[in-house]
Amino acid sequence: MATDNRINFWRRNTKVPGSVQPVYGAQHPPLDPRLRRTYPKDTKPKFNNLKSKKACSFHEFACSTNDAWDIDDEEDDNFCGTPFSASFTPSGQDLTSVHNQQLRHQTGETEPVLPHILTPPRDEGHNSQRDDGSECERVNGKFVKSSSDADLNTTSVRSSLQKQQSLPVRPIIPLVARISDQNASGAPPMTVREKSRLDKFKQLLASPNTDLAITEELRKHSWSGIPREVRPITWRLLSGYLPANKERRELVLKRKREEYFGFIEQYYHSRTDEHYKDTYRQIHIDIPRTNPLIPLFQQPAVQEVFERILFIWAIRHPASGYVQGINDLVTPFFVVFLSEFVILILAEDVENFDVAALPLETQRNIEADSFWCMSKLLDGIQDNYTFAQPGIQNKVKALEELVSRIDVDIHNHFKKYEVEYLQFAFRWMNNLLMRELPLRCTIRLWDTYQAEAEGFSHFHLYVCAAFLIEWRKEILCMVDFQSLLMLLQNLPTIHWGNEEVGLLLAEAYRLKYMFADAPNHYKR
């Protein structure tokens, strides 16, 4: 009997141990099977492990949950036997437009006008003539030969819409959020205020000797966000990688870049040695999981860059070595330094840019700068990644204490349903909220972290507390362990922009002002 169970287990499961699984979070939310499946008529979907009575505590949840590999097995079996007819499946472009229209209808937004997309003129009253002389009509962006074909196409789209509308109404979340800076309100790219701030940054950066007073002024202006055009050089300055003296910058950059590639020549060949092969293997596994839905990070040239950066850092920091999560910390620096050249050359989206198109020297400079700036960041939070990760343990405990003082309702709600802070806040500390926020929001968040004296090590605690309180209403509505943990691990921030991050930082600053220098207020 046990043998039959094992055979059935491996036969039913396509997911095997060690295979790369999608990583959920704001940058890559979980796919909803109800939105991407097509069900037969008068057939209700069956989902595993959805009980009529939900578990209200961790103990009940653990007892009522099957092995994680069993999830969706029966669901996949049901769908594999479902015939898909072309007449019931609209094209991906049509379905995407329908989803966008539903989302705008639900949120009350108007359809955005994209000035860089030229829509060809349409003559609705005349038929199009094809090269073969046959008479055609343009329907839904496609040529069809007769009106009957057009009716069939329209009917299929209508039937698909009816099926979509029969599903539970919920916002359609895009898989990949744009990296480029933009407010959720759809504000114009450059306002008068933003232009004034950009001029102020340029004035500060053009100073021949950026002394202490000017550096502090630069930090002050960077706290509320750095203009995209000057973000690369500002990040280099604020991280301590670039010297304040303008005359020494080129010399220091050249020396540090040569030093990094000296490390490559000296150490990178040892990745296959017995002592380092486990480290390199783990890095090699984690790189494809880094922002898997953004095309930029799936390019072989970019993945090779990340492998070199992470391996060199790991062997130069033997106290911690490489720890899963550090791979995410490279991406903001890489994107920011890459955007400096993308804007100058093609002014296109960074997430779709072909890095191999850049000159080799430029690619080397981006890689070296990303390495040194990431190293400066990790120097301040290295106890997060040493043995047993004591830094993260202490920060999670501090977060629990802080939340118990600022919102006792949330704290007691977690205790009632046996939710431990470590179960959701560990990732917040380990990845600096990068799995909870879109990459564009992370870059804006790091503007402030770089401007703060201890932004990554100290201020991040208050950002996490403000982030948790932001979802107070949703948290208190969840009345079982499973729903609470699913919410906290998949918070709906995919549509966040600079405005939401600015409000989050303002609340975090208020909490820091109240609690950071008030130990008696902080304690119970």
Gyration radius of the chain's alpha carbons: 26
pLDDT of residue 16: 45
Task: Check for a shared fold between 249-380 and 390-516.
Answer: no
Digit-coded pLDDT (tens) for 372-425:
999 999 999 999 999 989 999 999 999 999 999 999 999 999 999 999 999 999
Task: Give the alpha-carbon dihedral of 382, 288, 174, 497, to 10 degrees.
Answer: 30
Q: Which CATH architecture has domain 390-516?
A: Orthogonal Bundle (1.10)
DSSP bridge pairs for 198: none
Q: Which of 27, 22, 107, 109 is nearest to 440 (CA)?
A: 27
| Phi/psi at 137 (5° precision) | -125, 150
User: pTM, whole model, 2 decimals?
Assistant: 0.67
Cβ-based neighbour number of residue 477 at 10 Å: 12
Domain layout of the chain by residue ranges: 192-242, 249-380, 390-516
pLDDT confidence of residue 11:
47
Tell the residue number behind the tokens 């898989």, with chain if given: 175
Query: What tens digit of pLDDT does each residue of 140-199 get?
Result: 444 444 444 444 444 444 444 444 444 444 443 343 445 655 444 444 556 888 888 899
Please say whether the beta carbons of 312 and 268 come within 8 A.
Answer: yes
* Average pLDDT for 89-93: 43
Region of poorest pLDDT, from 99-103, 370-374, 392-396, 446-450? 99-103
Q: How many residues in the chain? A: 524
Per-residue pLDDT, averaged over 216-220, amounts to: 90
Average pLDDT, the chain: 75
Q: What is the pLDDT of residue 244?
A: 83
**Which is nearest to 322 in space by CA: 308, 305, 304, 332?**
308
Interval 479-493 mean pLDDT: 94
In 39-52, which positions are buried (b, 16+ CB within 10 angstroms) versus exposed (e)? beeeeeeeeeeeee
pLDDT digits (tens, 9 = 90+) for 53-81: 555 565 665 565 554 444 444 444 444 44
The CATH architecture that domain 249-380 belongs to is: Orthogonal Bundle (1.10)
